[in-house]
C-alpha cells in the first residue's frame, strides 16, 4: 500500500490549457467576439520568441483559462490525435450555433441532443462542435 500524498503537497487547481496558435490576433478576436471570452493577461518572452495570452470568463487567479501561445515565426505545428477539445457551458446551444454560423464559424457537428445519457447522473446533453481559426475543436454543451 502506498503512503497518501499530503494535501499540502498536492496541486490546488487547474490553471490553464495551452494551445499554440498561428495568428495571435485572429485567435484573440475569435475567442472574444464569437465566444465572449476576455483577455485576462499577456506575457511576452523576447529571448524565447513567444507571446502567451490568457483568455477566460473569470479572474485567472481563481478560474481555469486558455493560454493562446504564439511562437514568433514558427507555424509548423500539427494537431495531435490524442487532443480532444475545449468544452464550454452554454445556455442555448441552438441559438449560439445559429449566431456563429451567421458569422462564418465552421460548424463541425450541428447542435443536437446526444441520444444517450450519463450512466452516473442520467443527464442528457445537447451539444455542438465548432472550429477555432487553427482548427481546434470547441464543444458547446448545454445540459438538459
Task: Please list the active-site residues.
Answer: 139
Distance CA 88, CA 100 (A): 14
Count the Cβ atoms, other than its own, within 10 Å of residue 100: 19
48 Cβ contact partners less than 8 Å away, ≥ 6 residues apart: none
In 3-state terms, what secondary structure has residue 30?
helix
- Name the H helices within 32-139: 35, 93-102
Q: With 0-12 CB in 10 A as exposed, 13-18 as middle and 19+ as buried, what is 90?
A: buried
Distance CA 92, CA 89 (A): 9
Amino acid at each position: 500500500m502506498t503512503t497518501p500524498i499530503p494535501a499540502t503537497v498536492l496541486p490546488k487547481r487547474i490553471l490553464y490549457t495551452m494551445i499554440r496558435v498561428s495568428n495571435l490576433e485572429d485567435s484573440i478576436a475569435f475567442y472574444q467576439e464569437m465566444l465572449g471570452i476576455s483577455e485576462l493577461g499577456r506575457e511576452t518572452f523576447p529571448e524565447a520568441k513567444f507571446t502567451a495570452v490568457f483568455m477566460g470568463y473569470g479572474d485567472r487567479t481563481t478560474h481555469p483559462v486558455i493560454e493562446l501561445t504564439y511562437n514568433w515565426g514558427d507555424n509548423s505545428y500539427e494537431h495531435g490525435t490524442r487532443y480532444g477539445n475545449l468544452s464550454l457551458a452554454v445556455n442555448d446551444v441552438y441559438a449560439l450555433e445559429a449566431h456563429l454560423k451567421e458569422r462564418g464559424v465552421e460548424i463541425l457537428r450541428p447542435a443536437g441532443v446526444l441520444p444517450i445519457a450519463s450512466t452516473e447522473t442520467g443527464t442528457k446533453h445537447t451539444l455542438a462542435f465548432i472550429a477555432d481559426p487553427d482548427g481546434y475543436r470547441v464543444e458547446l454543451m448545454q445540459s438538459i
